Each structure stands twice: as C-alpha cells, then as structure tokens.
Amino acid sequence: MTPRRGLVILFVADVLSAIGSRITMVAIPWLVLVTTGSAARMGLVAAVELVPYIIASIMAGPIIDTLGPRRTSILANLSSAVAVAAIAATTGLGFAALLVLVAVAGALRGAADRAKDLLVRPMAEAANVELIRITSLHEALARGATLLGAPLGGLLIFWTDAASVLWIDAVTFVICGVLVAAFVRPPEVVADTRRDKYFRSLAEGFSFVRRDELLATMLITTFTINIFASASTAVFIPVWVRDELGSPAGLGLTLGAFSAGALLGSITFAVLATKVPRYLTFAIGAFVGGSPRLLVLGLSDNLALVMVVTFLSGIGIAAINPVFGAALYEHVPKQLQARVIGLVAATSFAGLPLGALLAGELVSALGLTPALIWSGIACLVVSVFPLVRRGPGKVLDAPSTVEAT
C-alpha cells in the first residue's frame, strides 16, 4: 500500500463516515417523531446528539495523544457502530434510554472525527501532497457528502424504516474502522509521551490558541460566520420565505442555491488552492459568505436576487474551512494538534446551535427585517476584521513546518 493510496483510503473512510452521520441526523429524529409523535422530543434528541459531539471534540484530545489517532479512530468508529446498532435494536426501551444512547453515539462520533483529522497531516506528508490541496479537497468531498447524505437518509427511510436505516449506518461505521485498520498506516503517530495531568494537558491547547494571533483571528471569524449561517438556514430564510413568498418552494430554492454555491466554491478552490494567497482568500471568503446573504433578505423581497446573492455567498464561504485547516496543520506543533484541532472544531460547531437560538430570539423581539439588518451589520463588522489585520496574513502565506519539541 503506497502512501498516496493510504491517503485515498482515509478520504474514502472519512466521506463514508460523513454520509453515515448525515443519514443518522435524519433517521434518529424521524424515529423519535414516528414513535412519540412529539416535535419537541424530535428537536431535543437532535440537540442531545450535537452537544456531546462538541464536548468530545475538546475532551478527546489528551486521549488521542495517548492512544494515537489511528487507534483512536478505529476504536471510536467500531464503538459508534455498536452505539448506533443499540439505538436501532432497542427502540422499545423508552425515550430516556434513547437519549443516553444518542449522547454516547454523538460523543464517539466527535472522537472519531477528530482522530481522522489528526491522520491527515502525516498521511499527506508521506504522500508528498501539499496540505492546502488536501484540506480543499476534503472540503469539497464533505460538501458532497452533506448534499448526498440527508436526501439519501430520507429515501432509505421511505424505502424501509428509520430503525433499518440505523442498522445500515452502523455498518458504515464498521467499514470505516476496518478501512483505517487495514490500509491507513501513517509513518509517524502524533503521540504525547509525557504524563501531564488530563486537565493540564487540555489547558495547553486553550493557551496555545489564545496566544496565537493567526488562529485566534481565524477562529473568531469562523465562529461568527457559523452563527449567522445557522441563523439563516434555521430561522431567517424559512421566516422570510413564509412572509415574503408564502410558498415552501422558495425555501428549497434558496437553500439549494447556497448548497450549490458552496459545492462549486469547494471544487474551484480545490483546483486553485496552491495558486492564491491564502489569508486574503480566507478574509474575502468570510466577507462574501457572511453578511451579504443576511442583508439581501432584509432589503429585498425578490427571490431571484436573493438566490443570486445566496449562491455567491456559498462560493465565498467554501474557502474558509480549507484555509483554516491548512493553518492548523502547518502552524500548530504536532504534540498539541489533537488538543488544538479538537478545541477549534468544537468552538466552530458551537456556533451552529447558538445561531439558531439567537435568530429565533431576535425575530421574536425585533421582527424579521430589523433582525436581519442588525445581524448583517454585526456579521459585516466581524468579517471585515481579518481584512484589516496584516500580521496574521504574513504568517499564513509564508507557512513554516512545525515539528514536535
């Protein structure tokens, strides 16, 4: 098995895991809805899966350092398969038991995803592939998996039922674990041989991000963009469609325009990743991908205009994650990557539920149009911040190889 083939297998496992996760995010809430008839419980179970995922992304760092990312990935994927299979097999145990199993599954998935993240750098270095190329390709594949996973989950539920779909998802986790075990063999394992106390080890990751100007700037920007992206998808766009258009078709068209733009942007950036200034691309992507899609909803009732701006915002936002990912791999010492990458991923994901919550409160308190305008202004202020800071840009566009000490 050559390093390049091992890298390809790692990507196959990651995409398969992503598709399975999207299917789970459709199947479990649907299972709750059809078994309990409660929309409130449906929303609760979705949150119970996401919160442990975020927490595990942070807390698993020292464990990954101890076990190594490859072993952690294998164990977490196989354990995820057991957890998802338990959900499918025990639907009659009651809602409380379901919540516990869903929380366990979410936490294991967070650990598995962070472990796979830690395998990317050594596999890319062994294959002699530039990290920015890898992170941009990963973003394109992740976008494709997102677009495929949710509708596939819906179709599978239509053809079978939610419990059967969860059994299928459990199989995907087993396949991922087997693929990593059999074919992904990094030349070096990111392992921390020190015996620091657990929370002291975590604190090192927090301290590094706080002190690093580049990562702090990019994390604040990404967190903010995620807040308003979630606010748009979960609240602003559905309410705007209801008030201005009165047709659910507009919801599908608007969300589809953003997804299509994000997928096109991801593919385009994967081709151009090594030819463009990275920090400037990140800053422009944040500027285009954030406030315009909010402001156009607040200032216009024209669906065609909203779709065009939303499509362009999708293109812009596609450059953010690949550039940020490359910065993490290149500028974080290897012995800290498990903790720092976990912290960054968790913080970024935390913007998603927060955005939906804040958007709902803003619309209730101010009305839709003022909420959109003020949100657009707030997002604009934050997205301009990277453009006026030159220091981090010089660091990112002249990357250095960081080795463990």
Taking only the tens place, the pLDDT of each residue in 319-342 is 888 888 888 888 888 778 777 887
Cα separation of 210 and 207, whole Å?
5
Residue 201 has pLDDT above 80, yes or no: no
* Number of residues assigned to the chain: 405
Residue 393 has pLDDT above 50, yes or no: yes
Cα separation of 307 and 166, whole Å?
35
Name the residue with tokens 């970024």: 348
Task: State what percent of residues in the chain have pLDDT above 90.
Answer: 14
User: Three-class SS of residue 399?
Assistant: coil
Return the pLDDT at 394.
Answer: 62
Cα separation of 70 and 252, whole Å?
39
pLDDT band at 349 (very low <50, low <70, confident <90, very high): confident
Cβ pair 75, 367 in contact under 8 A: no
Taking only the tens place, the pLDDT of each residue in 256-284 is 788 888 888 888 888 887 888 888 888 89
Return the pLDDT at 199.
Answer: 65
Burial string for 283-312 (b: 16+ CB within 10 Å, else e) reads: bbbbbbbbbbbbbbbbeeeebeebbebbbb
Amino acid at 221: T
Taking only the tens place, the pLDDT of each residue in 24-38 is 777 877 777 777 777
Q: From the centroid of its chain, how far is CA 204? A: 23
Angle at 157 between CA 22 and CA 247, to 5 degrees: 80
Name the residue with tokens 């315009």: 292
Residue 6 has pLDDT above 50, yes or no: yes
Of 348, 375, 40, 349, the C-alpha closest to 237 is 375
Helix axes 213-231, 278-289, angle to 10 degrees: 20
Of the candidate ranges 156-160, 373-377, 381-385, the one whose mean pLDDT is the lowest:
156-160
Better-predicted residue by pLDDT, 257 or 153: 257
Residue 304 has pLDDT above 70, yes or no: yes
Q: Which tokens hold the place of 35?
A: 């078994």
Of 251, 32, 12, the C-alpha closest to 137 is 12
Cα separation of 155 and 33, whole Å?
17
Residue 49 has pLDDT above 60, yes or no: yes
Q: What is the DSSP letter of 273?
A: G
Cβ pair 75, 68 in contact under 8 A: no
Return the pLDDT at 233.
Answer: 76
Return mean pLDDT, the chain.
81
Better-predicted residue by pLDDT, 391 or 151: 151
Of the candidate ranges 88-92, 192-196, 320-324, 360-364, the one whose mean pLDDT is the lowest:
192-196
Kindly report the number of other CB atoms within 10 A of residue 161's CB atom. Answer: 16
Cβ pair 53, 181 in contact under 8 A: no
Kindly report the number of other CB atoms within 10 A of residue 199's CB atom. Answer: 9
The Cβ-side half-sphere exposure at 335, using a 13 Å CA radius, reads 10
Average pLDDT over residues 340-345: 82
Cβ pair 290, 355 in contact under 8 A: no
Amino acid at 275: K
pLDDT band at 295 (very low <50, low <70, confident <90, very high): very high
Average pLDDT over residues 196-208: 71
Return the pLDDT at 405.
Answer: 38
User: Three-class SS of residue 316?
Assistant: helix
